[in-house]
């Protein structure tokens, strides 16, 4: 891969990483720490994600256990979790832990989640195309300034399109895998 194109690879990777985080927060039939780890809690005069305040475990397929390291913030953690409207679950406090039970997904819930998934995938595809267009503009500008020959320009553009296609394919694969998990009963 040409070093010029290689310089922009981290931008493509960053877009893919962001999608991974987004997909982790979409509920499937199983509980996952990613569903709640980034929920923001108002505590210690600041806002912090749960993953920085507590240990999160999944003892059963549809249960998440949150155990704050500082037992005095359990109420604040529970309040923040209950505010999260896109996930329906029942929360119960026991001693110094918070247990979240996720009900099974209905067919309607699954279809809604697939729509949300499609929206997130499309945003990622748009981001990849935006990065590709930005790099394409730079290649054309450098070719006009005679920093690249016409042959180099076309080779770089072809390489850039190949890279963007690779990332688009990865996005599609991630989406198909997540959809399969959502639709599994």
CA gap 145, 55 in Å, rounded: 55
**Tens place of pLDDT per residue across the chain (185 aa):** 788 888 889 999 999 999 998 888 787 777 788 888 888 888 888 898 988 889 999 998 888 899 999 888 888 888 888 887 566 778 888 888 889 888 888 888 888 889 999 999 999 999 999 999 999 999 999 889 888 888 888 999 999 999 999 999 999 999 999 998 888 76
- pLDDT at position 87: 64
- pLDDT at position 176: 93
Using the structure block, give the residue that is written with the tokens 């990483």: 17
- pLDDT at position 11: 92
Using the structure block, give the residue that is written with the tokens 């240990």: 55
- pLDDT at position 182: 85
Rounded-to-10 torsion of CA 66, 67, 72, 77? -10
Question: Do 29 and 181 form a contact (C-beta atoms < 8 A)?
Answer: yes
Domains and CATH numbers, the chain: 3-23+106-183 (1.10.132.20), 30-101 (3.30.1360.40)
Taking alpha carbons only, the member of 114, 115, 112, 134 closest to residue 7 is 134
User: Who's near 91: CB < 8 A, 6+ residues apart?
Assistant: 78, 81, 82, 98, 99, 100, 101
């Amino acid at each position: 891969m040409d070093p010029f194109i290689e310089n922009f690879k981290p931008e493509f990777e960053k877009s893919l990483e962001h999608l991974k985080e987004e997909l982790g927060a979409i509920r499937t039939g199983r509980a996952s720490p990613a569903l709640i780890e980034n929920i923001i809690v108002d505590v210690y005069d600041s806002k912090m994600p749960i993953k920085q305040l507590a240990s999160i475990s999944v003892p059963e397929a549809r249960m998440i256990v949150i155990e704050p390291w500082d037992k005095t913030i359990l109420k604040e953690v529970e309040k923040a979790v209950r505010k999260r409207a896109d996930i329906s679950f029942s929360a119960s406090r026991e001693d110094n832990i918070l247990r979240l039970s996720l009900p099974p997904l209905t067919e309607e819930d699954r279809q809604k989640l697939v729509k949300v998934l499609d929206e997130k995938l499309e945003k990622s595809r748009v981001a990849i195309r935006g990065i590709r267009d930005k790099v394409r503009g730079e290649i054309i500008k450098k070719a006009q300034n005679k920093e690249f020959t016409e042959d180099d320009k076309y080779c770089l553009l072809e390489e850039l399109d190949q890279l963007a296609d690779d990332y688009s394919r990865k996005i599609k694969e991630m989406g198909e895998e997540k959809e399969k998990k959502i639709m599994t009963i």
